[in-house]
Amino acid sequence: MNRRYRKTIIAGNWKMNKTATEGKALLDELKQTIARVKWCEVVVCVPFVDIPMAIRALKDTRIAVGAQNLHQEQSGAYTGEVSASMLKDLGVKYVIIGHSERRQYFGETDSTVNKKIHVALEAGLHPIVCVGETLEQRESGITAELITMQVKAALAGVPAEKIRSIVIAYEPIWAIGTCKTATAEQANEVCELIRATIRKIYGARAARAVTIQYGGSMNAKNAQELLAQPDVDGGLIGGASLKAPDFTTIVEAANQ
Ligand code: PGA
């Protein structure tokens, strides 16, 4: 973390968990335990159908609501899809784009990720853009090239004045939901590389201002060490965001 230059952001990614009723119970608990957060931004990225409940439940708190996806077109005949303006209209602030589960199970590519970033920014949403390598890619030594390419492809055409609205989440695929966390050094190394890539495109000031999260089995035990790294500005938390005590501990680690 480096709060002098950029925001620390802890975002929960509930994935396809929690009905609105269950989610409300979790948020009611979090509202009590996360009441005093001052130094970091807290976000819960909930399923689409939970969004109205979450907006209502979190009114007058410092916890923001995020979505987990959106469609790359602004409107039209795309049955079953949700647009950026629909999210914005509900009061959503953040949206996860290009999560590896979307890339793996729903055919998302660097190109759709790029389009989604553009529609999100146009609607005034803050994209949380996920990048990350598979175990095979890491073992064959192409992590740096791959991540650099994913970041460049994601940001293609994004103007300099919008770059600070974007959060990047480095999520090694081998660490997601596996209890295999990247070491603090591995996480920082890639987050640093992402910042260097942004620096080459947008310059040093912009690179310094962008929040870069780590995600992948971040939990109450390892959060502090990961967040102590200079280029790790927060976390995207899956499993551990579903339990109020664990998520609270992570937020507290970021709020120090
Ligand atoms: P995990 O998920 O914390 O359960 O590994 C992280 C994510 O997929 O965003």
Structural class in CATH, domain 9-254: alpha beta
Q: Out of 41, 99, 108, 252, which one is annotated catalytic?
A: 99
CA–CA separation, 171 and 142 (whole Å): 15
Kindly report, residue by residue over 51-73, the tens digit of the pLDDT: 999 999 999 999 999 999 999 99
Atom of ligand 1 nearest to the CA of 101: 8
Q: What are the residue boundaries of the structural domains of the chain, listed by start?
A: 9-254
Q: Out of 108, 133, 171, 252, which one is annotated catalytic?
A: 171
- Check: pTM over 0.75? Answer yes or no: yes
Say whether 125 sits in a helix, a strand or coil: coil
pLDDT at 179: 86
CA–CA separation, 222 and 238 (whole Å): 14
The strand ranges marked E within the chain are 8-13, 40-45, 63-67, 94-97, 126-131, 167-170, 211-215, 234-237
Atom of ligand 1 nearest to the CA of 175: 5
- Do 13 and 94 touch, CB atoms closer than 8 A? no
- Do 214 and 204 touch, CB atoms closer than 8 A? no
Report helix angle 143-155 to 184-202, nearest 10: 40
CB under 6 Å to ligand 1: residues?
Answer: 13, 171, 176-177, 215-218, 236-240
Using the structure block, give the residue that is written with the tokens 């970041």. Answer: 151
State the DSSP code for 234. Answer: E
- Do 46 and 69 touch, CB atoms closer than 8 A? no
pLDDT at 3: 87
Please give the helix or strand (H or E) that residue 137 lies within, else none: helix 135-139
pLDDT means per 10 residues, the chain with 256 residues, are: 93 98 98 89 98 97 97 98 98 98 97 98 98 96 98 98 97 92 95 98 97 97 97 98 98 94
- Nearest CA, atom 1, ligand 1: 238
pLDDT at 36: 80
Catalytic annotation on 171?
A: yes
- Do 206 and 198 touch, CB atoms closer than 8 A? yes
